[in-house]
Amino acid sequence: EDKVVQSPLSLVVHEGDTVTLNCSYEVTNFRSLLWYKQEKKAPTFLFMLTSSGIEKKSGRLSSILDKKELFSILNITATQTGDSAVYLCAFPSNRDDKIIFGKGTRLHILP
């Protein structure tokens, strides 16, 4: 069964720290891995990763995929209180249209 596991489940750091969120996966016929940020509302798309070793970057956020070791990391540098959210790792199902989400990492940034 396809699955994605995120760690840590929860993380509390001070503003300005750098954090690394982990996502490991087991997916048959892997196509892509997706990162979303969810605050109190809808998941907001961050990155789609398809190729190993190519870093995707958006401001202070970056992500990379390792297809050999079956994991991805999401880095956030110089964290701000606005980064507090649940970060979801996900992949598109091969059997139907849904996105399969991990349980998420709940990140809380202390001022």
Partner 1 sequence: AAGVIQSPRHLIKEKRETATLKCYPIPRHDTVYWYQQGPGQDPQFLISFYEKMQSDKGSIPDRFSAQQFSDYHSELNMSSLELGDSALYFCASSLRTSLSDTQYFGPGTRLTVL
**Bridge partners of 90?**
34, 101
CB of 106 to partner 1, least distance (A): 10
Contact range with partner 1 by CB under 8 A, out of 15-23, 55-63, 71-79, 93-101: 93-101
Contact 25, 108 (CB under 8 A): no
Size, binding site for partner 1 by CB under 8 A: 22
CB of 19 to partner 1, least distance (A): 20
Contact range with partner 1 by CB under 8 A, out of 7-15, 32-40, 55-63, 65-73: 32-40
Q: Which residues contact 58 (CB under 8 A, 6 or more apart)?
A: 46, 47
Question: Under the criterion CB under 8 A, does residue 45 sit at the interface with partner 1?
Answer: yes
Q: Is 38 exposed, middle or buried (0-12, 13-18, 19+ CB in 10 A)?
A: middle
